[in-house]
Amino acid sequence: MLKFDNVYFKYDEDNEPMIDGLSFEVDDGDFISVIGASGCGKSTVFRLINGLEKAQRGSISVDGKNIADIKNYSAYMPQKDLLFPWRTIEKNICMPMEIQKINKTEMHEKACEVLKEVGLYEYRDKYPKDLSGGMKQRASFARTLLSGADLMLLDEPFSALDSITRMGLQEWLLDEWQKHKKTVLFVTHDVEEAIFLSKKIFIITDRPVSHFEECKVPLSYPRNRDDMKRSDIGDMKAMLIKKLRQEAAV
């Protein structure tokens, strides 16, 4: 579904490239987590996918088409929730539909449907300041979902939340993913979260980024928290933490 072919990318102000010769593929319906030390380029990869940055060499394609030639193929939920404080929750989540010039009645209907699904229907006329951190993340997710894109790029969506809220949202996200049959790329620093959510984990271990190490999670869906106690899962967690610590020490 998503394909990077020999991609090279350098920020203008840097001397060294951030990414050099990166190739990878993501299948339709995958749930993939991307992990790696802070500053290794995870958000940069997302910015390249959704066209906020342009690769200087190589190609990035979605469903066989170069991303330069297509629109609305991905929805990006950035690291910080970017809800506009002066817009109500409903008006916030309608933004991608406003951009697509969807008519008002349809927009309202779709927004209400998704607001019910994420448990925020009663809050539709409130402002972001009236919501808890977890609720704001659900609102941000609703907005990402309403962009209609099949490829969702979620950049550390739960990192600012307490662990109990976070666990609830992880389970909720897996339900949503299965219901909507989206393809998800998910950045996290939390190895346990990556294992619990993903089919596969991409690990960034080099600089400039030239490849992802891939690790397949041996669990089926729906997932059960108790599976996290399995010894093979424990070993996987230890292995991933070791890799991240080696990388952070470079």
Provide the binding-site residues for Mg ion, judged by CB under 5 A: 42-43
Q: 11 contacts which partner out of ligand ATP, Mg ion, none, CB within 5 to 8 A by kind?
A: ligand ATP
Nearest Cα to Cα of residue 128 among 177, 189, 84, 94: 84
Helix axes 104-117, 133-145, angle to 10 degrees: 130
Nearer to ligand ATP, 80 or 104 (CB): 80
Smallest distance, ligand ATP to C-beta of residue 187, A: 7
The stretch near ligand ATP (CB under 6 A) out of 34-42, 111-119, 122-130, 165-173 is 34-42
Nearer to ligand ATP, 146 or 154 (CB): 154
Cite the beta strand spans of the chain per DSSP E: 2-9, 19-26, 31-35, 57-62, 65-66, 74-77, 151-155, 183-187, 200-204, 212-216
3-state secondary structure of 5: strand
Restricting to residues 42-81, which ones interact with ligand ATP according to CB under 6 A?
A: 42-44
3-state secondary structure of 154: strand
Number of C-beta neighbours around residue 241 at 10 A: 13
Nearer to ligand ATP, 41 or 134 (CB): 41
By CB under 6 A, name the one of 19, 35, 40, 75 that touches ligand ATP: 40
Nearer to ligand ATP, 39 or 234 (CB): 39
Nearest Cα to Cα of residue 42 among 236, 202, 215, 238: 202
Nearest Cα to Cα of residue 22 among 42, 5, 41: 5
The stretch near ligand ATP (CB under 6 A) out of 10-18, 96-104, 205-213, 216-224 is 10-18
Nearer to ligand ATP, 53 or 171 (CB): 53
Smallest distance, Mg ion to C-beta of residue 80, A: 10
Smallest distance, Mg ion to C-beta of residue 36, A: 9
Q: How far is CA 180 from CA 1, 54, 224, in A?
A: 16, 29, 20
Q: Where do contacts with ligand ATP occur on this chain (CB under 6 A)?
A: 11, 13, 18, 36, 38-44
